[in-house]
Structure 1
């Protein structure tokens, strides 16, 4: 009977430790992360460009979203419109000025629940040396053990609308739209070295 009590006590202590350690840190997978932005070109078309991930960390607490956070770096060297001449033009001083401002960053300042599996992620977006607050509308697609990597994984989609002129990237407005649509999809996993502990 005494042994049983010890087992119950150990179980309760373990549960308490687990509850205290609820926020989990995930590394975003560059092979399963896309950061896309699109704009209108003279009313004729809506081109899309991709920003490749540099580094990305998500701290996620499903039970207490306020303890969650996001920190992402997007090098402009990875900018891809699928048109090499346009890639080079967007990196020039009249747009991103990538030689001077080589990365785009996003650091969350607040995460709030917004319905079932939905969140408002407010953060500081830095583009072209200018930092402005931006709100991402995020959806948790799935949380669980990744069947191939065998580590805890989360997947999110997120969207935002912003004005590029707010960041000093206003060339050719209004013929090339000021409003930019941003769409993000990502998978992020607990690093294997941490998961193995």
Structure 2
């Protein structure tokens, strides 16, 4: 009897925890994923992904109970130089034909100071999955003045070793360390626009 009561209590608690997190979707017009590297120490080029798919389950009362799941189509990679785009999508690097997406799925969210979070998760690039930690700044959570619905904005950054993901061509002349910078606005899903 006690075990059944404890199990029921746990299930009720879990349902309340889940209910507290609302689904937010990425605003593609205001989401950028940019990565940069050193080229022979002479320059620091960058590239970007123009598509981000996925969702944030946001608990505004306790952000540590939130989660994020992101998938990035590799064919959205852009440098504004067509031949370079082709090279980065080739088997030398991302190998788009075999590995069409990259992804990140959080496993833990921790506070790291005022408006700061550490978001741990599984990062998959080029078919290889590694643990990764994003340093996140909470820019703002509140009603969006134009969309007239709840919104949340974040910046995040991480440095990864591309060789860890089987992308080690031309190391060390082209740096192994790649800096990834993300800025995003998310909007609460299914929220009807307010009048006015």
TM-score (norm 1): 0.86
In our comparison, the structure showing a higher alpha carbon Rg is 1
Question: Does 2:174 match 1:180?
Answer: no
Query: Is contact 2:115-2:137 (8 Å) kept?
Result: yes
Q: CA deviation at 1:51?
A: 1.0
Whole-Å separation in 1 of the counterparts to 2:18 and 2:44: 47
The 5-angstrom pairing of residues 1-197 of structure 1 reads 21-191=19-189, 194-196=190-192
Q: CA RMSD in A?
A: 1.7
In structure 2, what is the Cα distance between the partners aligned to 1:57 and 1:19? Answer: 17
Tell me the residue number matched to 1:3.
none
Deviation at 1:20, TM superposition (A): 8.0
Larger displacement relative to structure 2 (20-29 or 146-155): 20-29
Single out whichever of 65-74 and 131-140 deviates more from structure 2: 65-74
Q: Tell me by how many angstroms 1:154 deviates.
A: 0.2
SS at match of 2:175: coil
* Offset of residue 30 of structure 1: 1.0
Q: How has the CA–CA distance of structure 1 residues 128 and 19 changed in structure 2, closer, same or farther, with 3 Å as cutoff?
A: closer
Q: Secondary structure at the match of 2:78?
A: coil
Residues 42-95 of structure 1: CA deviation (Å, up to 9, x unaligned): 110000100122412111223322311010111011000111111000000011
Residues of 2 paired with 1:20 and 1:101: CA distance? 32
Distance verdict in 2 for CA 1:19–1:112, change over 3 Å: closer
Q: State the distance in 2 between where 1:94 and 1:19 align.
A: 45
Structure 2, unpaired ranges of 5+: 1-15
State the 1:195 CA deviation. 1.4
Taking the aligned partners of 1:72 and 1:189, their CA distance within structure 2 comes to: 15
Aligned length: 178
User: Displacement, 1:19?
Assistant: 9.2
